[in-house]
Amino acid sequence: MRVLVIGSGARENAIADALLHGGTELYAYMSTKNPGIYKYCRGYTTGNLEDAKGIGDFATANKVELAVVGPEAPLAAGVADELIRIGVKCFGPTKELAKLETSKAFLRSLLEKYRINASPKFRVFRNYDEKGMLDLLEELGEYVIKPDGLTGGKGVKLSGEHLAGKEDALAYCEEVLQGHGCVIIEEKLYGEEFSLQTIADGMTAIDCPAVQDHKRAYENDEGPNTGGMGSYSDSNHSLPFLQKEDLEEAHEITVRVMRALKKETGSFIGIMYGGFMATKKGVKLLEYNARFGDPEAMNVLPLLKGKLADVCAAAANEELGSARVEFEKKATVCKYVVPEGYPDRPVISKIEIEKLPNALTYHAAVEEREDGLYTTKSRAVAFVGVADTIEEAEKIAEDAANGVKGSVYHRKDIGTKELVQKRVEHMRRIMNG
């Protein structure tokens, strides 16, 4: 099968890798030349990932049969719509269905309409309403403020962490409204977050193993939010702090949302990636993404048995119910190596990667020059360890991350026994509190 990968990050490197292992003839449309992708392609080009017509023309010229969309920006720009229009099957939702990710207000309203009780207390503001906002902030006591739209995982601000008080909160609401259509104020929840990526075709929903991501830049969950510094999954496809019922509840929420979307708009084809939180009051939905997570894709794709292209094609044909989708019972740990100063003041430097046979390597925002590989302004390289236990997988990923020379750093604590235990204890205190 001729398959087109759209995107140029480590997530797309992992998608390309999984497709290649299934014997696919690979093509890529990237914003920058990713050395982990282009070297294995029959054909590739670079361009604007929001250029739906350009991507469609490239697919037509290369007789592509199926496209897999990696990042959110092409989905928001209607790339899937254009590919479907010209007869290319697409694993990724249409622009209207991608509103699941691109509009938090759309998601909250959908949950409300279909009485899916998974939201924290919230209110959507489309204009600056100081009294209404203040009343809600006082009622909630602790709160989260979210822009409506894509912010690269960096737009959400929490009281007590990013916002010192109500004045800060109102100022941020005003700032958000200047750049976005609306702002959402939500109740601040307490619990442990987890990512559940579900393969969907409008009728069938198949969960990938659960993953926990780490957004904060520095160890012990300190520092600014990033696109994600790393993540881990367990061999039982759950997480050490979750109960069986938590995953069942999260799955049921996704199924109900998928069915609601089908009634409203049509079949959601692709990945419904739920950002959930296990709380004392049950599982709550923080947000959905309409594609694989980065880094979470790198935890689950290496575990997929069978061919990724077959799974994506089955979903695109709305025949996922007849596909066999299984994941190996292994644990994984992913660690991102990033430029010094990331995310605020990244330092560009030459890097050397010592490739270790046990670790999987996925290139992200790097640039190949005549004299070698350089970091850019974002995450550089991800390393994944796959093993029987989280502890063994962590050692593989850590050894690989330590082997990178240059002005870079990574979070050494992701996947360690100490940090995982901290999560378990935190959840125990919340449930018993």
Q: Are 231 and 275 in contact (CB under 8 A)?
A: no
Tokens of 135: 């009343």
Give the type of residue at 334. C
Q: Which helix (H) or strand (E) holds 68?
A: strand 66-69
pLDDT, mean over the chain? 96
- How many percent of the chain have pLDDT more than 70? 99
pLDDT digit string, tens, across residues 186-235: 999 999 999 999 999 999 999 999 999 999 999 999 998 899 999 999 99
Tokens of 37: 């992708």
Give the type of residue at 346. P
The beta strands (E) that lie in 79-200 are given as 89-91, 122-125, 143-147, 157-158, 183-187, 192-200
Q: For the whole model, what pTM was predicted?
A: 0.95
Q: How many C-beta atoms surround the C-beta of residue 39 within 10 A? A: 11
pLDDT digit string, tens, across residues 18-70: 999 988 999 999 999 999 999 999 999 999 999 999 999 999 999 999 999 99
CA torsion, ordered 129, 131, 135, 141, to nearest 10 deg: 80
- pLDDT at position 155, please? 83
Task: Count the alpha carbons within 13 Å of 202 in the hemisphere toward its beta carbon.
Answer: 20
Q: What angle do CA 356, 226, 69 make, to 5 degrees?
A: 75
Tokens of 30: 């990237």
For residue 150, is pLDDT > 90?
no
Domains of the chain: 2-94 (3.40.50.20), 121-187 (3.30.1490.20), 192-421 (3.30.470.20)
